[in-house]
């Protein structure tokens, strides 16, 4: 486990929750705030082990609920469920494909609020859900589909900046060397 | 097949969540405040950036414009001072009459300005956080408004910030009345589209109530309630009759623009 990588993921979750709470964009335009945590979970589940997935679900979910009127901890299990499902099907997913990233981001962003809502209704907490919630769900899904490839590109850049680069193979082959002079 | 680390990680997280769900309300509130305290440095930074932006904007405004605005504000201030003197006389007269009739005295409110520092990141709640807390004398259930009208009430209080639930949140219901006709009902969350952040429902109106579009709605100020009476809420947009004509429901457009709240007034007793 690369601790620098884990720190970056948790810092990204912290920043994502802060931006969602402090920025009024795009809420003031379309009435919905896009959630970046499911997209971050897709990236984490495709590149890290289950402990990092669990850490992100716990830290990101608790931060989100702490700034929200949600019951504390209600966002943790849906995030963990999304990460767990992707982690289990990792071998069948082409994580380098932008199309796959978009589809996974959309699926994760669509599933996360549904599971959260299901949990809240089971906890007898009734949020404001009417026909308008369909619009919110649609925007969250599309937002997740757009945000996921952006996050992949961002973390690729971060890796290039902070990780050791693999040594390039030299084209020099000793067996092909032309020996000059007398043998 | 699941490997052992998978079991451990999943079971650990599920256990933590179950413990959180089982915690008593006050402990959860304290825990929430502690976790959201992690964001205080960033909120501080955002506040400083906002102040700096205001200073830069102030430095860029032409002096002529500032002088003109100052003159205009002086004139407005003079007019308002005269109106306040007139209102004070009416208030004294009102208090004398209330004493003579044996009615309870009305509470006077001190308004305190607060800056909105965060909004609820979840889309199904309507709540904001303000930069006043327990150290500023804030307690739960205080009324929050703008100059235009009612905004909501304080729901939870931290040391340096508080959460305000806004009109239209499912956890906030306000007893309201139409001053012209005296019709009373309850302001509650809207069933309309989420983009219409400034729309709420005015329900529990009697089927025979004569309520019309364009009429103003104010807080009722029932005894033992949270909100004082007479605070403007909004105006009626349309009225519909519910099933069997037993009751009516109106949609109310709020005076306060909840989509772009930056500063609010907390009414302190």
B28 lies in which domain range? 4-59
B196: Cα separation from own chain's centroid: 17
Residues B205 and B89 in one domain: no
Element (H, E) at B155: strand B150-157
pLDDT band at A25 (very low <50, low <70, confident <90, very high): confident
State how far the Cα of B226 lies from the Cα of B151, in Å rounded to an integer: 13
Candidates B172, B190, B177; CA nearest to B253 is B190
State how far the Cα of B253 lies from the Cα of B198, in Å rounded to an integer: 6
Could you tell me the CA-to-CA distances from B235 to A28, B30, B215 in Å, in that order? Answer: 22, 38, 5
B109 touches B268 (CB < 8 A): yes
A71 lies in which domain range? 3-23+32-159
Interface contact flag, B193 A135, Cβ < 8 Å: yes
CA atoms lying within 13 Å on the CB side of residue B103 = 11
Average pLDDT, integer, range A100-111? 96
pLDDT at B193: 55
What are the tens digits of pLDDT across the range A133-176?
Answer: 888 999 999 999 999 999 999 998 988 888 777 777 777 777 77
pLDDT at B139: 94
Interface contact flag, B38 A14, Cβ < 8 Å: yes
Q: What total of structural domains would you count in chain B?
A: 3
pLDDT at A103: 95
Q: How many CB pairs (< 8 A) connect A and B?
A: 147
Prediction pTM value: 0.86
The alpha carbon of residue A179 is apart from the nearest alpha carbon of chain B, in Å, by 56
Candidates B165, B158, B164, B169; CA nearest to B36 is B158
What are the tens digits of pLDDT across the range A111-144?
Answer: 999 999 999 999 988 887 777 788 899 999 999 9
Candidates B137, B21, B163; CA nearest to A68 is B163
Interface contact flag, B20 A72, Cβ < 8 Å: yes
Residue in A17, A54, A71 closest to B9 by CB: A54
DSSP-assigned states of every residue in A32-90: -PPP-HHHHHHHHHHHS-HHHHHHHHHHHHHHHHHTSSSPTTTTHHHHHHHHHHHHHTG
Q: Which residue has the higher pLDDT, B123 or A178?
A: B123
Residues B259 and B176 in one domain: yes
The alpha carbon of residue B147 is apart from the nearest alpha carbon of chain A, in Å, by 20
Beta-strand runs (E) in B184-268: 184-188, 199-206, 216-219, 232-241, 247-254, 263-268
pLDDT at B198: 85
The alpha carbon of residue B62 is apart from the nearest alpha carbon of chain A, in Å, by 29
Q: What total of structural domains would you count in chain A?
A: 1
Interface contact flag, B10 A57, Cβ < 8 Å: no
Interface contact flag, A27 B119, Cβ < 8 Å: yes
What are the tens digits of pLDDT across the range B73-110?
Answer: 999 999 999 999 999 999 899 889 988 988 877 777 88
ipTM of this predicted complex? 0.84
Residues B139 and B239 in one domain: yes
Residues B147 and B235 in one domain: yes
Interface contact flag, A133 B194, Cβ < 8 Å: yes
Q: Is B42 on the interface with A (CB under 8 A)?
A: yes
What are the tens digits of pLDDT across the range A40-98?
Answer: 999 999 999 999 999 999 999 999 999 999 999 999 999 999 999 999 988 888 888 99
pLDDT at B83: 93
Instruction: Report percent pLDDT > 90 for chain B.
Output: 57
- Give me the residue label for tokens 């100059």: B147
Q: State yes or no: pLDDT of B121 exceeds 80.
A: yes
Contacts of A70 in chain B (CB under 8 A): 122, 125
Pairing state between β B162-166 and B174-177:
unpaired
Q: Is B31 on the interface with A (CB under 8 A)?
A: yes
What is the residue-averaged pLDDT of chain A?
Answer: 90
Contacts of A67 in chain B (CB under 8 A): 36, 39, 118, 120-121, 129
- Give me the residue label for tokens 């978009």: A102
Residues B143 and B78 in one domain: no
Q: Is B49 on the interface with A (CB under 8 A)?
A: no
Examine residue A78 and state whether it is found in any structural domain, yes or no: yes
Sign (positive/negative) of CA torsion B1, B3, B7, B9?
A: negative
Interface contact flag, B195 A30, Cβ < 8 Å: yes
Residues B124 and B84 in one domain: no
State how far the Cα of B217 lies from the Cα of B256, in Å rounded to an integer: 13
pLDDT at B196: 64
pLDDT at A1: 57
Interface contact flag, A67 B197, Cβ < 8 Å: no
State how far the Cα of B187 lies from the Cα of B202, in Å rounded to an integer: 5
What are the tens digits of pLDDT across the range B8-26?
Answer: 889 999 999 999 999 998 8
Residues B21 and B84 in one domain: no
Residues B128 and B260 in one domain: yes
Q: Is B59 on the interface with A (CB under 8 A)?
A: no
Pairing state between β B199-206 and B184-188:
antiparallel
B249 touches B203 (CB < 8 A): yes
pLDDT at A167: 74
Candidates A28, A15, A69, A29; CA nearest to B262 is A28
pLDDT at A155: 92
Could you tell me the CA-to-CA distances from B261 to A165, B116, B119 in Å, in that order? Answer: 48, 7, 10
Q: Is B195 on the interface with A (CB under 8 A)?
A: yes
pLDDT at B195: 56
Could you tell me the CA-to-CA distances from A63 to A12, A84, B36 in Å, in that order? Answer: 12, 20, 7
What are the tens digits of pLDDT across the range B190-223?
Answer: 866 555 678 899 998 988 888 889 999 999 988 7
Residues B53 and B78 in one domain: no
Q: Is B129 on the interface with A (CB under 8 A)?
A: yes
Q: Is B162 on the interface with A (CB under 8 A)?
A: no
Residues B22 and B77 in one domain: no
Q: Is B13 on the interface with A (CB under 8 A)?
A: yes
What are the tens digits of pLDDT across the range A1-22?
Answer: 578 889 999 999 999 999 999 9
Residues B166 and B195 in one domain: yes
Contacts of B122 in chain A (CB under 8 A): 64, 68-70, 127
Interface contact flag, B125 A69, Cβ < 8 Å: yes
Residues B137 and B90 in one domain: no
CATH of the domain at B172: 2.40.10.340
């Amino acid at each position: 486990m690369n601790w620098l990588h884990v720190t970056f993921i948790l810092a990204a979750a912290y920043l994502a929750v802060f931006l969602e709470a402090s920025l009024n964009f795009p809420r003031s335009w379309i009435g919905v705030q896009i959630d970046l945590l499911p997209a971050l979970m897709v990236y984490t589940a495709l590149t890290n082990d289950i402990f990092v997935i669990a850490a992100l679900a716990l830290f990101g979910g608790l931060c989100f609920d702490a700034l929200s009127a949600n019951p504390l901890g209600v966002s943790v299990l849906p995030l963990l469920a999304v990460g767990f499902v992707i982690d289990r099907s990792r071998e069948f997913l082409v994580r380098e494909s932008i199309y796959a990233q978009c589809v996974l981001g959309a699926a994760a962003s669509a599933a996360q609020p549904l599971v959260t809502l299901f949990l809240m209704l089971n906890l007898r907490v009734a949020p404001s859900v009417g026909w308008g919630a369909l619009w919110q769900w649609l925007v969250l899904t599309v937002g997740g589909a757009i945000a996921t490839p952006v996050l992949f590109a961002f973390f690729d850049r971060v890796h290039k900046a902070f990780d050791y680069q693999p040594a390039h193979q030299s084209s020099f082959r000793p067996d092909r060397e032309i020996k000059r002079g007398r043998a | 097949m699941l490997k052992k680390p998978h079991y451990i990680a999943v079971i650990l997280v599920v256990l933590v969540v179950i413990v959180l769900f089982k915690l008593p309300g006050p402990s959860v509130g304290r825990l929430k405040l502690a976790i959201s305290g992690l964001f205080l440095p960033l909120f501080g930074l955002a506040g400083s950036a906002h102040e700096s932006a205001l200073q830069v904007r102030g430095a860029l405004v032409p002096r002529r414009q500032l002088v003109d605005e100052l003159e205009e504000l002086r004139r407005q201030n003079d007019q308002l001072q005269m109106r306040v003197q007139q209102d004070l006389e009416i208030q004294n007269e009102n208090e004398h009459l209330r004493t003579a009739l044996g009615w309870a005295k009305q509470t006077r409110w001190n308004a305190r300005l607060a800056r909105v520092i965060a909004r609820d990141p979840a889309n199904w709640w309507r709540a904001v956080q303000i930069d006043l807390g327990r150290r500023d004398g804030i307690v739960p259930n205080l009324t929050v408004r703008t100059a235009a009208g009612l905004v909501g009430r304080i729901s939870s209080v931290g040391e340096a910030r508080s959460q305000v639930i806004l009109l239209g949140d499912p956890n906030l219901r306000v007893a309201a009345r139409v001053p012209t006709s005296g019709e009373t009902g309850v302001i509650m969350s809207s069933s309309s589209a989420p983009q219409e952040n400034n729309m709420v429902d005015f329900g529990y109106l009697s089927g025979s109530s004569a309520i019309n579009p364009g009429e103003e709605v104010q807080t009722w100020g029932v005894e033992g309630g949270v909100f004082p009476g007479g605070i403007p809420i909004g105006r009626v947009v349309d009225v519909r009759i519910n099933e069997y004509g037993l009751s009516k429901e109106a949609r109310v457009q709020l005076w306060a623009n909840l989509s772009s709240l930056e500063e609010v007034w907390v009414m302190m007793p």
